[in-house]
Amino acid sequence: MRGMRTTAKQPDPIRDQQATSLKETWGFMWPYFWQFRWHVFGAFGCLFLAKATTLALPYGLKLIIDALDPQLQSLVVVPLALLIGYGLLRFGSVFFGEVRDALFSRVTEHAMRRLSLRVFQHLHNLDLQFHLDRQTGGISRDIERGTNGLSFLMRFLMFNIVPTLLEIAAVAVIFWSLFSVWYAVLTAVAVVVYVRFTVVVTEWRNRYIREANQADSTTNSKAVDSLLNYETVKYFNNEAYEASNYDKSLAVWEKARLQNRMSLFLLNSGQALIIAVAMTVMMWMASSAVAAKQMTLGDLAMVNAYMIQLFLPLNFLGFVYREIRRALTDLENMLGLLTREPNIRETADAAPLQLTAGAIEFQQVHFGYQPDRPILQGLSFTVQPGQKLAVVGSSGAGKSTIARLLYRFYQPQQGCILIDGQDISSVTLGSLRRAIAIVPQDTVLFNQSIRDNIRYGRPDATEQEIDAAIDAAHLRQFITTLPQGDGTLVGERGLKVSGGEKQRIAIARVLLKRSPILVFDEATSALDSHSEQAVQQAIRELATGHTSLVIAHRLSTIVDADMILVLEQGTLAEAGNHEQLLALNGRYAQLWAMQQDSAIDA
């Protein structure tokens, strides 16, 4: 449709979302946990078994070393039972962890699937204005990062943060009970300093993550937009200009990524310093105790093993916290999409449209895309059941706006639109749009076969019904000339077929939909004379017995209309059939004369 281009793209509101909280994210995750609660309980059971065997490993190592110490044993023998037990503990710590991951993968993968579907459905429910302003490449990145972020949060928040803290507490208790309270104090101090440092620095560097994400989405949007408009780039020899714009976006992305990397360097270095100091102090304490014969070599090995076992997950805890903050940042835009409400919504008491005859009535309709630019100003007209009504006028007069309002892509600021006496704002959107089918000026096809594009009009149609639609749209002769017949792929946006062929595919699709109300939005204005005649013949056959609204640029295509409306600046200037309007010698007659002169000159 034409005549309704928006002004310069507005900033996408989802870019201004504040940081997503864990509480908000938990609200999204909880239904998926509860749906597979037995998987979750089983995973938790395996988690505790894995942690228990892991905590037992250093003590088992101590027993082995002490058993081999000649100062403690008069006869040194290989402690076979201890070695077998140690091996079983080592295997158990890995095995139970793998079982945990296998059980929980069902939860995370299903959650990613359901969330991706939820966002996809929500995007289709948003109003047309959102899709006119959107940046497709950026949105696709938001969804990809958001679903991956949710999977990370579900897995690591549940199975790393709390268990790691419990493991740290258990190690501190073991140190206190077996050796000295100072080992537990040192452990607690190291953990508190480490966690505090990680939180403060991560919050500081989170802005760099957000900037890098924004730059990544912008860069991807520019790339997708340029590639989708490949022909336009070639028409104007603007490859270098597009590359320059893309490189500017990449430069912003590069700078943001570099800042992100340098802040990560600071975080990792600080964490490593805290760990190194704590381990050095604790090993000095343990070594001094061994030298004083207050501890055995096995105790020293156990302290070392526990220290390594303690700080490895603690170091991982720092990574997990950083990634949780990153995941929450990645979730912001996707959750912003889900919380965005469409401007066009059904009322709570909306009922299905009860279609009887198919009469359409506009009553004093006022509408404008911007408050300071009215398009329709008090427009009123009626299309009788089975009647063919045409709308003509200059560009910007509001012709295509009528079709969009009829589809409820937009809502009038004043007035109402009725179908068979029912206000379309009070009926369900699904029933309204099923009752209307459109052949647009610019038919955009999916990158599938001709037959699949026709089937899209009614996916559950039989093969015989599709064949009948092909014949009725006069497509059979064209299809027989193709090596792959109706299995031929039409290319992205249908660029592999001509304008006339695309329009006939659109007509076949509308035929298959079987809607009683038809809209033709300048369906032949971009076609050559030969294609126009063929498509017009198919349109006339299609419109027979239907209520039809024809938005026309070429007046020669609507001379057989039962009623013709002439719009001027959003108001009804003239109305009548072709002969009546010519007899008025007004605006329609002027347009007719101009187009006839143009046809003669051509």
Q: Is the pLDDT of residue 213 over 60?
A: yes
Q: What are phi and psi of 566, to 5 degrees?
A: -110, 115
Q: Are residues 331 and 368 in the same domain?
A: no
What local confidence, expressed as pLDDT, does residue 62 receive? 66
Q: Are residues 270 and 380 in the same domain?
A: no
pLDDT single digits (tens) 90-120: 787 778 777 777 777 777 777 777 777 777 7
Model confidence at 2, pLDDT cuts 50, 70, 90, reads very low
Indicate whether 1 belongs to any domain. no
Q: Are residues 417 and 368 in the same domain?
A: yes
pLDDT single digits (tens) 39-81: 777 777 777 777 777 767 666 666 666 666 555 554 445 567 7
With CA atoms as reference, report the closest residue to 438 among 472, 404, 467, 469: 404
Check: CB of residue 208 under 8 Å from CB of residue 259. yes
Q: Are residues 125 and 187 in the same domain?
A: yes
Indicate whether 298 belongs to any domain. yes
Check: CB of residue 198 under 8 Å from CB of residue 225. no
User: Both tokens of residue 27?
Assistant: 């609200």
Indicate whether 284 belongs to any domain. yes
Q: Are residues 224 and 133 in the same domain?
A: yes
Indicate whether 10 belongs to any domain. no
Indicate whether 505 belongs to any domain. yes
Q: What CATH number is given to the structural domain containing 125?
A: 1.20.1560.10
Mean per-residue pLDDT of the chain: 77
Q: Are residues 102 and 203 in the same domain?
A: yes
Q: Are residues 330 and 373 in the same domain?
A: no
Model confidence at 506, pLDDT cuts 50, 70, 90, reads confident
Highest mean pLDDT of the ranges 493-502, 542-551, 560-569: 560-569
Query: Which letter, b or e, does each residue of 259-298 get, where b requires 16 or more Cβ atoms within 10 Å of its Cβ?
Result: bbeebbeebeebbeebbeebbeebeebbeebbeeeebbeb
Domain limits at 57? 19-339
pLDDT single digits (tens) 420-469: 999 999 999 889 988 988 888 777 788 888 898 889 888 888 999 999 88
Domains: count for the chain: 2
pLDDT single digits (tens) 111-159: 777 777 777 777 777 766 666 665 555 666 677 777 777 777 776 766 6
Q: Are residues 244 and 182 in the same domain?
A: yes
Indicate whether 8 belongs to any domain. no
> At 102, is the secondary structure helix, strand, or coil?
helix
For residues 375 and 567, what is the distance between their CA atoms, to the nearest angstrom? 11
What local confidence, expressed as pLDDT, does residue 527 receive? 59
Q: Are residues 334 and 366 in the same domain?
A: no
Q: Are residues 411 and 523 in the same domain?
A: yes
User: Both tokens of residue 445?
Assistant: 């096809």
Model confidence at 254, pLDDT cuts 50, 70, 90, reads confident
What local confidence, expressed as pLDDT, does residue 201 receive? 83
Q: Are residues 264 and 399 in the same domain?
A: no
Percent residues over pLDDT 70 in the chain:
80
Model confidence at 360, pLDDT cuts 50, 70, 90, reads very high
Q: Are residues 503 and 560 in the same domain?
A: yes
For residues 344 and 395, what is the distance between their CA atoms, to the nearest angstrom? 26
